[in-house]
């Protein structure tokens, strides 16, 4: 999966289109992510000792992974993320627009290193 927790993403579909936020959680099986400040919903809370006031609690709900694009930290543009092999046998994510690295995915392995 090309997007990780703490990445900055931009929403490209839905009511929050154009909003940027940080990824808080990822559900890999369902293909959904929770983005900070996006897709806010109200959860109605009953009075209790923990919450004596009760009322409505606003929280973020999950959105589908296909509705967001990774924002490159180097060029600050929403882009697709590619993966490429490094000379030392490691693997990294990179920006498809500017080619800047977006972090390493796999540690270097000697059997995959270019000779």
Question: What would the two tokens of residue 105 be?
Answer: 């995915």
Q: What are the strands of the beta sheet with 63-64, ordered from one edge?
A: 63-64, 32-35, 20-27, 8-11, 68-71, 78-79
Full 3-state SS string of 35-96 = ECCCCEEEEEECCCCCCCCCEEEEEECCEEHHHEEEECCCCCCEECEEEEECCCCCEEEEEC
Average pLDDT over residues 96-111: 84
Which of 36, 32, 46, 31 lies closest to 16 in space, CA to CA? 36
Residues of the chain with CATH 2.30.30.30: 1-71
User: Is the domain defined by 1-71 classed in CATH 3.30.70.60?
Assistant: no
Per-residue pLDDT tens digits for 24-76: 999 999 999 999 999 999 999 999 998 899 999 999 999 999 999 999 999 99
Q: Residue 115: pLDDT above 80?
A: no
Q: Residue 111: pLDDT above 80?
A: no
Tell me the whole-structure pTM to 2 decimals: 0.83
């Amino acid at each position: 999966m090309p997007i990780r927790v703490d990445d900055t993403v931009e929403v490209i579909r839905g009511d929050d289109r154009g909003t940027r936020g940080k990824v808080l959680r990822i559900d890999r099986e369902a293909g959904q992510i929770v983005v900070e400040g996006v897709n806010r919903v109200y959860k109605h809370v009953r009075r209790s000792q923990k919450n004596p006031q009760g009322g409505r609690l606003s929280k973020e709900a999950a959105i589908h992974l296909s509705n967001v694009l990774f924002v490159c930290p180097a060029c600050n543009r929403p882009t697709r993320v590619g993966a490429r092999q490094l000379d030392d046998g490691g693997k990294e994510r990179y920006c498809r627009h500017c080619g800047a690295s977006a972090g390493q995915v796999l540690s270097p392995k000697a059997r995959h290193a270019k000779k």
